[in-house]
Amino acid sequence: MHSLWGHRTHGSAGQAPRRWSWTLWGYDARHCGRAAFALPPVAAILAVVTAAVVDVSWHQLVAGTLFPILAVMPAASVVTAEPAPELHASVPHPYPRTIARRLAVAGGLVTAGAVLAALTTGLIEPTTHVGRFFTLAWCSSVLLVGAGAAGGAALRSAAGASAVVVGVWLGQVLILERLLGDGGARLVVPVLVGTTATIWALIRFRTAGVPGADRRTEVAP
């Protein structure tokens, strides 16, 4: 049988693909960087501390605005900072799959941070609606992750992707939340927009290729 990289492998039919799969997930998890692992729990701690010192009526604001922007920022760079673009350009493995794995890792870390923030806030302040706190934090994070992915795919720059995330966050805080109110639309619309933006980013990477591969090819002797 042939492995993911096109070379013949030995052993049972199920072991090699599984080994390669875990190798790729481990590589992409490391590629996400330390900030992607560190900032979600830090954001959760800051959200919990803030929720503990403000009135419970402000918890919705803490969950929907403070936590997401702090936790999601590292995810904006996982789709653009490619250390070995020529490697990805030379292997028979679709680059959007790589991006999808990195976004899954970053999104999973943000989700874990949201769970930590919601549960801890609920323990400190029993009147907190834990489910609502988590849902607001998670739905807003989906929107910002999608914004970062789309910004990175369109601008091919970590700085540009981060600027898009900040811009979308400001638009959400200043405009979107007022338009949507406190109903279910405030939860559904960010998820739909963020998911659509992520899908668009993956399609964009499929057609545009690996960031930096063209530039390095041009300067190569």
- Domain assignment present for residue 171? The answer is yes
- Domain assignment present for residue 10? The answer is no
Residue 71 is which amino acid? A
Q: Given phi > 0 = left and psi -120 to 50 = alpha, else beta, which region is 212?
A: left
- Domain assignment present for residue 221? The answer is no
Q: What are phi and psi of 2, to 5 degrees?
A: -110, 145
Q: Which of 94-103, 107-116, 137-146 has the weakest average pLDDT?
A: 94-103
Percent with pLDDT over 70 in the chain: 78
- What is the torsional sign of CA 167, 153, 41, 134? positive
- 146: domain range? 15-209
Identify whether the C-beta of residue 103 lies closer than 8 Å to the C-beta of residue 198. yes
- Domain assignment present for residue 98? The answer is yes
Burial 166-182, CB ≥16 within 10 A → b, else e: bebbeebbeebbeebee
Its pTM stands at 0.81
For the chain, the domain total comes to 1
Burial 31-56, CB ≥16 within 10 A → b, else e: bbbeebbebbeebbebbbebbeeeee
- Domain assignment present for residue 190? The answer is yes
Percent with pLDDT over 90 in the chain: 40
- Domain assignment present for residue 216? The answer is no
Question: Is pLDDT above 70 for 21?
Answer: no
pLDDT confidence of residue 84: 59
pLDDT confidence of residue 208: 66
